[in-house]
Amino acid sequence: MIVENLRLWPVLHHLSKESLLDIVYLVIYGDKGPSDYGTALYITRNGDVFACGINSYCGKYSMQTEIIKHGGNFLEGSVMVKELSGIELKKIVQSSEFGAGLSANNNLYLWGNASSSIMLGKEYIVMYECYTPDTVCKKCSTSEYSPSTIGGFDLNKCTTCDWYPTYSLQSPNSPQTPVKTFMEFCDMVVVLCSKCGQWCSFVAVGAFDLYYCTPCNALQESIGWCEESTAPRKVQLDHSLKVVDVACGMGFLVLQTASNNLIVFGYLGCNFQGYIDNLDNVVIQNFTCGGHHLAVVTNKGALYTCGDGSSGQLGYDWNEDMGYTTLRKVSLPGTTVKVCCGLSSTACLLSDGSVAFFGGNNAKQSITMLKQYTFIDIACATLTDLFSAKTASSGVYFWRSPTPKLHLKVDACDCIEALLGWPVTYDRALSEILFLKQTLPCNKHGFSHYAEFYGQKQFSDLTLKLKDGDFPAHRIVLFNNSAYYKKLLTESADFQFTDMTSHDPHTYRNLLKYFYQALVKELSWQDLLNLYVLAVNCNENEVVEYTFRRLLDKLDKENIDEITRVAKSKELSALLAECHAQLERMLQPTNNETSSNQESDATKTNQNDTESPTLYIRSS
């Protein structure tokens, strides 16, 4: 997207070209159409977060407000959100009632009406003492505690007075007392088992009824609680629960953890708190949320969905008896590259350049295929049923659910710009699906024909053995674009199989995508580093050059130690030299002067310096 065109959204009219270029992540939300003004939260290059538009969800940003048409508080210019600035926030998501943010070091932040809409209150958090032998009961002072084994935990219980020592967040235990934190049963919230994903009942443990999964014989440890506050505040995570991604729907929040779990908070058919049931145990590559559903793309390009499917948005026949929190596979005629969820509909970009669309109506199994063009990107206006798609020939189309075949060509350079005036999310790093730049035979539109055959058995004349399965390859593609395979095929053309099981399959597929000029998303620094190491080992100089440049762009204080370690262990001298140079720059004194460009466009206000309220989360 041409970044300057962000000014076409009314809420960003006041920003200069320089300030627009400074934006790395932007969320525009809170409105139902282009005639409304809306609210925007955006992250700048130096990690500051600013708000502009209608003053909502994050509390009072500024006293400098004016009454706009239809009433309401309107911010004059941009105002810094101090609680979210300087914490290296990398992602922001907004629902209709709350917002959430994820930082580069995977800290989670919440604001808005989150406490009453998505999480149990802290009054439902109960802490029980873990069994400690040779400890006298604090209540009767006559007997020692014995171990009471309930739901997989050994807890202190007095043999004389049958008392369980417990604590609350209002009257916590001392740091020397080991405890387990559980959730008191609330008939307004369904807790999903951390082991099987099914609904939990309850069991009486002393004075409290605790959430308990009968089939798993498992008490449910607390996932989280929040204060009654609209201001942004950090969620204190247990060290074993690492959140790597976050998304939200109309009234629910979903966290993805490093252990391949999805945790839901809020209303998704009913009030839930707990673990999405990953019945097939698929590896989650990425996920997104619609109004009342969510979609998952697996590491093998399969699509799974769950939630409310009453409008056909899940891609399969659904009824309430199937529940809202079990992932089920959608049958599609190809692998999924990208998925976008609307309010009550879903669009999928497939590897062959077609788009599968479903939902927005009552035809629960109706999937519409758009195949008349080769599409390279799709997008959706947040919490609407408005979609856009870009073709390989740079044409951009717009449609409204449930009529994707009535799509209109619009004058826009990309999918985001096609949604002008509507709520959108703009991420400079991931704003579109990238084609890796190579000199390959192209059609009249400049689009490589090779990409059409990536992972396809059609015309395949070579099989690559990978750890996770066979890959159908094409000799002509590999010969033309890989130094390694050109040498291999020149020396011998008789073999039908090549064993590549010694390499990480995910990394090797990324290498193959380069050879095929296939559709790939912006790679993380970990994936880039792995691809760089593989390319060096295979003497693929073009890939080495590409990944080296991209990797340098992603060097920061969070990853430089690990990248330096790998560069040293693998004897990657060029990368190691760049890491050392970057470290020297990081150690230099920083300039605390605020950017003059930002000062000219944003009104920074003094805010309370006290720390914001803290949330505590423990993993199951």
Given this model, what pLDDT does residue 442 score? 42
Given this model, what pLDDT does residue 120 score? 78
Residue 584: pLDDT band with limits 50, 70, 90: confident
Total length of the chain: 620
Query: Which is higher by pLDDT, 565 or 119?
Result: 565
Structure tokens at 373: 């063009």
Query: Does residue 447 surpass a pLDDT of 60?
Result: no
Question: Strand ranges (DSSP E) for 32-96?
Answer: 39-44, 49-53, 65-67, 73-75, 78-80, 89-94
- Report the pLDDT averaged over residues 191-197: 91
Residue 139: pLDDT band with limits 50, 70, 90: very high
Residue 321: pLDDT band with limits 50, 70, 90: very high
- Report the pLDDT averaged over residues 449-462: 76
Determine contact, residues 243/234, Cβ cutoff 8 Å. Answer: no
Query: Does residue 436 surpass a pLDDT of 70?
Result: no
Instruction: Report the alpha-carbon distance of residue 311 to residue 318 in Å, rounded.
Output: 9
Determine contact, residues 349/337, Cβ cutoff 8 Å. Answer: yes
Query: Does residue 307 surpass a pLDDT of 60?
Result: yes
Instruction: Report the alpha-carbon distance of residue 15 to residue 28 in Å, rounded.
Output: 14
Residue 114: pLDDT band with limits 50, 70, 90: low
pLDDT digits 0-9 by tens, 536-558: 999 888 888 888 888 887 888 88
Given this model, what pLDDT does residue 55 score? 59
Instruction: Report the alpha-carbon distance of residue 187 to residue 587 in Å, rounded.
Output: 54
Determine contact, residues 436/513, Cβ cutoff 8 Å. Answer: yes
Query: Does residue 180 surpass a pLDDT of 70?
Result: yes
Check residue 300 and report its DSSP letter: T
Check residue 157 and report its DSSP letter: E
Query: Which is higher by pLDDT, 314 or 78?
Result: 314
The DSSP string of 408-475 is EEES-SSTTGGGTTS--EEETTTSSPEEPP----B-TTS-BSGGGGTT--TT--EEEEETTEEEEE-H
Question: Strand ranges (DSSP E) for 457-561?
Answer: 462-466, 469-473, 497-499, 519-520
- Report the pLDDT averaged over residues 256-265: 91
Phi-psi region of 38 (alpha: psi -120 to 50; beta: other; left: phi over 0): left
Share of the chain above pLDDT 90, in %: 43
Instruction: Report the alpha-carbon distance of residue 552 to residue 565 in Å, rounded.
Output: 15
pLDDT digits 0-9 by tens, 8-32: 898 898 899 889 989 989 999 875 5
Given this model, what pLDDT does residue 455 score? 81
Determine contact, residues 162/215, Cβ cutoff 8 Å. Answer: no
Given this model, what pLDDT does residue 430 score? 58
pLDDT digits 0-9 by tens, 243-259: 889 999 999 999 998 88
564-571 long-range contacts, CB within 8 A, separation 24+: 566/529, 566/533, 570/533, 570/536
Determine contact, residues 385/345, Cβ cutoff 8 Å. Answer: yes
pLDDT digits 0-9 by tens, 372-403: 888 988 999 999 999 999 988 888 999 988 77
For the domain 435-587, what is the CATH code? 3.30.710.10
Given this model, what pLDDT does residue 74 score? 64
Residue 616: pLDDT band with limits 50, 70, 90: very low
Residue 443: pLDDT band with limits 50, 70, 90: very low
Domain map (residue ranges) of the chain: 1-86, 122-216, 435-587
Query: Does residue 59 surpass a pLDDT of 70?
Result: no
The overall average pLDDT reported for the chain is 82
Residue 582: pLDDT band with limits 50, 70, 90: confident
Given this model, what pLDDT does residue 36 score? 55
Given this model, what pLDDT does residue 207 score? 94
Query: Does residue 416 surpass a pLDDT of 70?
Result: yes
Share of the chain above pLDDT 70, in %: 82
Given this model, what pLDDT does residue 37 score? 64
